[in-house]
Amino acid sequence: MPSLLIDNPPLRRSPGALPRRLACLGARTARGAALLAAAALVVPAGPAEAQSRQPSIIRDAEIEALMRDYTRPIFKAAGLQQQNIQVVLVGSDSFNAFVADGRRIFINTGALKQSKVPNEIIGVLAHETGHIAGGHLANMRQQLESAQTAAIVAMLLAAGGVAAGAAGGANMGGAAAGAIMAPQEVIRRTLLSYQRGQEASADRAAVNYLNATKQSAKGMLTTFERFQSDQMFLSQRVDPYVLSHPMATERIALLSNLAKKSPYYNAKDSPALQARHDMMRAKLIGFTQPPDSVSRAYARSDASLPARYARAISSYRFGSIPDALRQIDALIAEQPNNPYFHELKGQALLEAGRAREAVPPLRRAVALSNGNPLIRMLLGQALVANDDKSSMDEAVRELTFSLQREPSSPAGWRYLAMAYGRKGDIPNADLASAQAAFMSGDFRLSRELATRARNGFKLGSPGWLKSDDIVKYKPPVDRNARSKRAGQ
């Protein structure tokens, strides 16, 4: 998405690379892996995707703002408006969403691209909100703890694999048979029954939230109908009692009954919200698809704003920068107060090595977005790349502000270190470098850099204290590695 690649070098012409802060899913997600199946909306991804490297976290100011607008009324209806729950975009083409803790809802970009109307995604988010409001993750942990065996976790994940890979044919049928023959079968089925009950509870909660906000549950039905055909033969090959989610036919029947009773069943999304949804899909298609796929999605004869947005993005990634800039300027002429068009222009110029020219449109984007921290971070990068010492004070100011709100960005800290270095402020440059290493999980390097930074600060000063915190930090012990060593 338009913005800097602050966690990777610019990849303007690399297929599938989204120029919006990309970072691998980290240990926090991995620690919750055993609980993902308990709170996922749909059957997990198939074997091919599961075996590939973990997907990336996608950051984009425009799409995140839309997700906040989708979830704000839902969170209020669920009594969660004070919980600061975030919607996290996962770079995967499968249609899926899940929660791994009580603070974040993860949704695949594939779900956003495939959805035709906002109501489909709002229904997905309402379902995941039901898991959070119902405390399902905490309840599942209690269920697992009562079993007192790590094997149960493995079996739960294996059951998710059975559901995911049923379309794989005979091999997965053999895996299912192996799982069914496990000695702990009764316990496993009990846990999965409990888990299926959570899914049904989340479905009911989602309908209640949609009713409370005067929205339709029709989008949820559309989502589940997507999977019904995928499970047509699943019911013939796999025992539904070893699935972590209700069968699609059962789920659709229950949900259809609830949804059609609502007085808001035929409610439509507002035209303004639909327009933003269409722009979001166009952005994702423009950034994630090669030019021929973009052309198929948006014919040259299509003069709509989303079509031109997708083509402008595709042009800057794969075509000529002058042509892309002409298309972006035409978008800006039509909507001069759209901050994301100015952001796109700044991104295109920055990645073309024209950092000085990128600064004005990015400043405009910051002003129009009310100081969005992601856009301010992009502006900070452009100021650093400008390599003008007179701009470093502004770069430090923009990056510091953005990092106060986005502190987990390693690349943001690296650009701040560069800005301090060009100012000749070596202690703060070392401290920012230490924080970049810390956020990347390189605790040894972060400690070395923080030690050097601490020596450059006055004893007891804020910089000294921050450096000292990093020096004294003790990373968590890898229990799996320790267990392996003990067993050797």
Mean per-residue pLDDT, 430-439: 96
Mean per-residue pLDDT, 203-226: 90
More confident residue, 477 or 428: 428
Determine the pLDDT at residue 97. 85
Indicate if the pLDDT at residue 249 is higher than 80. Answer: no
CB neighbour list of residue 46: distance below 8 Å, 6 or more residues apart: 164, 165, 167, 168
Determine the pLDDT at residue 140. 57
The DSSP element (H or E) to which 57 belongs, if any, is strand 56-58
Indicate if the pLDDT at residue 35 is higher than 80. Answer: no
3-state class (DSSP) for residue 181: coil
Indicate if the pLDDT at residue 296 is higher than 70. Answer: yes
Residue-wise pLDDT for 390-404, tens only, equals 999 999 999 999 999
- DSSP one-letter code for 45: P
Q: Which residue has the tokens 């339709």?
A: 216
Indicate if the pLDDT at residue 483 is higher than 80. Answer: no
Listed by start position, the domains of the chain span 22-269
Residue-wise pLDDT for 73-86, tens only, equals 999 999 999 988 99
Please provide the average confidence, as pLDDT, over all residues in the chain.
Answer: 77
Indicate if the pLDDT at residue 457 is higher than 90. Answer: yes
Cα–Cα distance for residue pair 140/137, rounded to 1 Å: 5
Cα–Cα distance for residue pair 145/152, rounded to 1 Å: 10
More confident residue, 197 or 125: 125
Contact 265, 292 (CB under 8 A): no
* 393, two tokens: 């004070």
